[in-house]
C-alpha cells in the first residue's frame, strides 16, 4: 500500500523520539513492500519560534492532506509565559478540533517483563490491560463561555463543561466497538452525582448500550475510578470518559505500566468537511525538556504509536503486531532506557552489561541482566528485532 504521513516532531524530546518511529515505519515499508511518504512540518514551540504561532496554516494543510499524522510532543519552559491562545499546547488542541479527532484511544498494557519497573507493587499491576477511550474535542477543554474577566472585586476565570447527546453517542460507540474486540466490558466514568453534564453522559451511554447487549456496562464516579485503578486495575477493560477526566486517568493508568514513556495513543475522527477518517498518533507523555537533547528519552511510546497507526489507519495488523513483538523481544533481552529500569536492579556504568535483576535460580534461567541504552540504540534494537521477526 501507499500512504502519506505527516511528521510533526515538535519540542523537547519530540525531535529525538519521532525519527526512531519513522525509521521503524521505513523498516516495515521495506520489509512488507509498502510505500510510505513522509512530510515533516513544525508544530508547537518550534513553530512559534519560526512563524509566531503554534499551528501554522502550512502544518494544518499538510495534516489535512495526509493519511495519518505522527506527532512527538509540544511545550517547554521557553513558551510557558505566553497567553493561552498562542501556547504550544494550542497546536494539539487546534489539530484535534480542526481535524475532528474526537476519539482518543490510550491503551495501557503492562509488559510482564516490566512489572518491576513500576512504583506500584508487581502483584497489583500484573495483568493490567486496559484501554482509555477519552472524548477529545468537547467538554471543558472547548466549552464556552471561557476566559478571564476583570470584575469589580478582582478577576473571574471561567471554563464550561458541556456535552451534547451527539458527542456522547459517538464516543460511546467507539468504546463499545472497541470492547467487542477485547474483553467485552465498558466502564463509563463520570461525576453524575454532582454534574448535570455527567447526568446526561450517563443517560446517553445507557441508551447506546442497548445496541450492544453482548457488552457489559458499568458506571463509576471519577473519584472512585481513580482509586480503583490503583487498587485493582485488572477489573478494567475499556474505560470511556470525558476530555478532562480522560486526561487525568490516562496519566494515572500509565503508571500501571511502569513508565509514561511506554504509552502510545491514537486520536481518531472523521475529517471535518470532505474526506474520510483521519488519525493522529503520538505518545501520551510530554516534551520532557529536562532530558531533551541527551539521548535519554524512551522512544517506545512513539514506536508503539506508529504500530497503532499501522493498524488503525492502514489496516496493517500483521505489520503492527510485528512492531509490538519487536518491542517485547528487546525488553526481554534486558534492554532498558533509564525510565524503565528496575529500581531493584544494580546499575552498571555506561550501559555495560550489569548484574542480574534477581539472583539466577538453580537452572540459571532468571531474568537477563538489564542493559541501559539511549534513545537511538533502543530504536535500532527494535528495528533489528523487527527484521529478524
| Contact pattern for ligand IPM over residues 278 through 317, marking x by CB under 6 A | ------x---------------------------------
Contacts of 72 (CB under 8 A, 6+ apart): 8, 9, 10, 11, 12, 13, 14, 15, 17, 18, 282, 283, 287, 302
3-state secondary structure 218-250: EEEEHHHHHHHHHHCHHHCCEEEECHHHHHHHH
**Left, alpha or beta for 154 (phi > 0: left; psi -120 to 50: alpha)?**
left
Cβ nearer to ligand IPM, comparing 96 with 109 = 96
Which range, of 45-53, 88-96, 122-130, 340-348, touches ligand IPM by CB under 6 A?
A: 88-96
Shortest reach from residue 54's CB to Mn ion, in Å: 17
Hey, how many other C-beta atoms are within 10 angstroms of the C-beta on 328?
14
> Is 223 among the residues known to form the active site?
yes
- Residue 139 or residue 233: which is nearer to ligand IPM going by CB? 139
Task: Using the rule CB under 6 A, give the single segment among 89-97, 153-161, 185-193, 326-334 that binds ligand IPM.
Answer: 89-97
Distances (CA, A) of 95 to 56, 87, 99, 133, 269: 11, 14, 6, 18, 11
Of 284 and 372, CB closest to ligand IPM: 284
Residue 247 interacts with ligand IPM (CB under 6 A): yes or no? yes
The reply to whether 339 sits near ligand IPM by the rule CB under 6 A is: no
141 annotated active-site: yes
Catalytic residue among 64, 111, 163, 191: 191
Is 282 a binding residue for Mn ion by CB under 5 A? The answer is: no
Q: How far is the CB of 280 from ligand IPM (least distance, A)?
A: 10
Per partner kind, with CB cut-offs from 5 to 8 A, the member of ligand IPM, Mn ion, none near residue 217 is: none
Instruction: Return the C-alpha cell found at 100.
Output: 475532528
How many whole angstroms separate alpha carbon 285 and alpha carbon 301? 8
- Cβ-based neighbours of 219, under 8 Å, separated by 6 or more: 187, 188, 189, 190, 192, 202, 205
- 190 carries an active-site annotation: no
Q: Does the footprint of ligand IPM cover residue 99 (CB under 6 A)?
A: no
Confirm or reject binding of residue 135 to Mn ion (CB under 5 A): no
Binds ligand IPM (CB under 6 A): choice among 89, 216, 252, 332: 89
Query: Based on CB atoms, which residue is closest to ligand IPM, 7 or 381?
Result: 7
Helices (H), the chain: 14-32, 45-51, 57-65, 89-99, 122-125, 165-180, 196-209, 222-231, 243-255, 300-312, 317-332, 375-387
The Cβ-side half-sphere exposure at 42, using a 13 Å CA radius, reads: 16
Considering only 97, 237, 247, 324, the residue that binds Mn ion (CB under 5 A) is 247
Q: Of the residues 102, 141, 312, 335, which is catalytic?
A: 141
| Cell numbers representing residue 92 in the block | 494539539
269 vs 286, beta carbon nearer Mn ion: 286
Q: Tell me which residue has its CB nearest to ligand IPM.
A: 89
SS3 107: strand
- If binding is defined by CB under 6 A, does position 11 make contact with ligand IPM? no
CB of 281 to ligand IPM, least distance (A): 12
Residues with Cβ within 8 Å of residue 118, at least 6 apart in sequence: 110, 125, 255, 256, 257, 258, 259
What is d(CA 25, CA 306) in angstroms, rounded to the nearest whole number?
7
Scanning 57-65, 86-94, 142-150, 358-366 for contacts with ligand IPM by CB under 6 A, the matching segment is 86-94
Q: Which is nearer to ligand IPM, 114 or 284 (CB)?
A: 284
Q: How far is CA 124 from the centre of its chain?
A: 22
Output 40 or 93, the one with its CB closest to ligand IPM. Answer: 93
Catalytic residue status for 251: yes
Instruction: Please give the residue ranges that form the binding site for ligand IPM (CB under 6 A).
Output: 89, 92-93, 247, 284
Active site residues: 141, 191, 223, 247, 251
Amino acid at each position: 500500500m501507499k500512504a502519506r504521513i505527516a511528521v510533526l516532531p515538535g519540542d523537547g524530546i519530540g525531535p529525538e523520539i519521532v525519527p526512531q518511529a519513522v525509521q521503524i515505519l521505513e523498516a516495515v515499508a521495506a520489509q512488507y513492500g509498502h510505500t510510505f511518504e513522509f512530510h515533516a512540518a513544525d508544530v508547537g514551540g518550534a513553530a512559534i519560534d519560526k512563524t509566531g504561532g503554534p499551528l501554522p496554516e502550512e502544518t494544518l494543510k499538510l495534516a489535512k492532506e495526509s493519511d495519518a499524522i505522527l506527532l512527538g510532543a509540544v511545550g517547554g519552559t521557553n513558551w510557558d509565559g505566553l497567553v493561552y491562545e498562542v501556547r504550544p499546547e494550542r497546536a494539539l488542541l487546534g489539530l484535534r478540533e480542526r481535524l475532528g479527532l474526537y476519539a482518543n484511544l490510550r491503551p495501557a498494557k503492562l509488559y510482564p517483563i516490566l512489572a518491576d519497573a513500576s512504583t506500584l507493587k508487581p502483584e497489583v499491576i500484573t495483568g493490567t490491560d486496559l484501554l482509555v477511550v477519552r472524548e477529545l474535542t468537547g467538554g471543558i477543554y472547548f466549552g464556552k463561555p471561557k476566559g478571564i474577566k476583570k470584575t469589580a472585586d478582582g478577576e473571574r476565570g471561567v471554563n464550561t463543561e458541556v456535552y451534547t447527546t451527539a458527542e456522547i453517542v459517538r464516543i460511546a460507540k467507539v468504546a463499545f466497538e472497541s470492547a467487542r474486540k477485547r474483553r467485552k466490558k465498558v466502564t463509563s466514568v463520570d461525576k453524575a452525582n454532582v454534574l448535570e453534564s455527567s447526568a446526561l453522559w450517563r443517560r446517553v451511554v445507557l441508551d447506546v448500550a442497548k445496541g450492544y447487549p453482548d457488552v457489559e456496562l458499568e458506571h463509576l464516579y471519577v473519584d472512585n475510578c481513580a482509586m480503583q485503578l490503583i487498587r485493582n486495575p485488572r477489573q478494567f477493560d475499556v474505560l470511556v470518559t470525558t476530555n478532562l477526566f480522560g486526561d487525568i486517568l490516562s496519566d494515572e493508568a500509565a503508571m500501571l505500566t511502569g513508565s509514561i514513556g511506554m504509552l502510545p495513543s491514537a486520536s481518531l475522527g472523521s475529517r471535518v468537511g470532505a474526506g474520510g477518517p483521519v488519525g493522529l498518533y503520538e505518545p501520551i507523555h510530554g516534551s520532557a525538556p529536562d532530558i531533551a537533547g541527551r539521548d535519554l528519552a524512551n522512544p517506545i511510546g512513539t514506536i508503539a504509536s506508529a504500530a497503532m497507526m499501522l493498524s488503525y489507519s492502514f489496516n496493517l495488523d500483521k505489520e503492527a503486531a510485528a512492531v509490538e513483538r519487536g518491542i517485547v523481544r528487546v525488553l526481554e533481552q534486558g534492554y532498558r532506557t533509564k525510565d524503565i529500569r528496575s529500581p531493584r536492579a544494580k546499575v552498571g556504568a555506561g550501559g555495560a552489561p550489569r548484574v542480574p535483576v534477581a539472583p539466577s535460580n538453580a537452572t540459571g534461567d532468571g531474568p537477563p541482566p538489564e542493559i541501559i541504552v539511549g534513545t537511538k540504540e533502543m530504536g535500532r534494537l527494535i528495528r533489528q528485532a523487527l527484521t529478524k521477526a
